[in-house]
Amino acid sequence: MAIPDTRPVRAFLEERHVTIASEVGALAREIASRPEPQDDDAARIEARALLAQIGAAGWFDPIRRQDWRGCCLAREALAAASPLADAIFALQGLGTLPILLSENGPVRDRWVDAAIAGRAMAAFAMTEPEAGSDVAAIGTTARREGDSYVLNGTKTYISNAGIADFYTVFASTDPTAGGKGISCFVVPADTAGLRFVRPQILSAPHPLGEIAFEICRVPAANRLGEEGRGYALGLRTLDRMRATVGAAACGMAARALAEACDHARVRRQFGKPLAEFQLVQEKLARMATDLTAARLLVYRAAWAADNGASRVTLEAAMAKAFATEAAQRIVDDAVQVLGGAGVMASHPVDRLYRAVRALRIYEGTTEIQHLVIAGQLMQDTGA
């Protein structure tokens, strides 16, 4: 089974996307042959290696072009091969897109080319101990002092913490204004006052951690956009990237489905292959149907973004909510079809089982997506 398979979503793709799918699929197969890191230290080393490999192959370029269908195809292929490789792609997008959207020329010149080439690793520093889904509750402050801002605060659950070359950071420049007082800054990793506090260990290999800003002085020229517009910039970034999370979920689900089908064909019980048992067939049919529905929602959202929609809030929320929840079900069903083999740490489906769960949380939980969808429906119906 080729991942990504363009046939079910061909109506949303151009001919060049079929070529993209084939080429990024070839890279993903190379990445799939790499051994999985066994601990956090190894994951941090492997993350840098994957960054260089993906960058050298040119597969961060859809981020620069803001080709969202291209980004979805890349994430679908990478997630099927290596959830860690997909995470590296996601963070290059999250950390770099605010720079592209803000049109800050000097910051763009300093970081974007290096990030797209895989020479500089990005991080997106928004989440805090008391600010997760409630982004407006950010407590990190940025106080203006002449030509600089002084940052103080803590960020947690930050992917690439401790190994990133630059952090796209959200901080409050006016704590009395809530979301309208948040600004966005690019902070190089070697800035005095920026400290890697500790790693935070996930069940799946993934460099995650906590960082702190302690009288961290950042040039005002590193601010992205106008003061107080960081919250809007962050939401716009997430609005564009959210459908690609659904694409990653589809990649993991497609790999799990392929592994389940292969196993069902060859594994024999009670004198015949598992694939001949109707209860197994029912699982496989439901998995395939869920996956196709998820992919259609994902590529509809990406198609809308690529065709000039100013916001794809509803489409992206539906895509992420459905695709990530469906992927969780599909991977779980794959484990059930594989039986004991599916819970062996050496099996790809076990790796997917550990990795897929986080997709329902980051970049907006499923519950938040449902609130977004309902809010959009109320606006559209005039309620």
207 close to 199: Cβ distance less than 8 angstroms: yes
Q: Which of 130, 282, 363, 367 is catalytic?
A: 363
Single-letter code of the amino acid located at 358: A
Strand partners, 213: 153, 194
Neighbours of 344 (CB within 10 A): 11
Rg (C-alpha) for the chain, rounded Å, is 21
Question: What does the chain come to in residues?
Answer: 383
363 has catalytic annotation: yes
Of 203, 194, 175, the residue nearest 125 (C-alpha): 194
54 close to 28: Cβ distance less than 8 angstroms: no
Give the pair of three-digit tokens for residue 309: 């929609």
Sorted by sequence, the CB contacts under 8 Å of residue 58 that are 6+ apart come out as none
118 close to 53: Cβ distance less than 8 angstroms: yes
| 91 alpha-carbon distance from chain centroid | 7
Sorted by sequence, the CB contacts under 8 Å of residue 1 that are 6+ apart come out as 254, 257, 258, 261
The residues annotated as belonging to the active site are 363
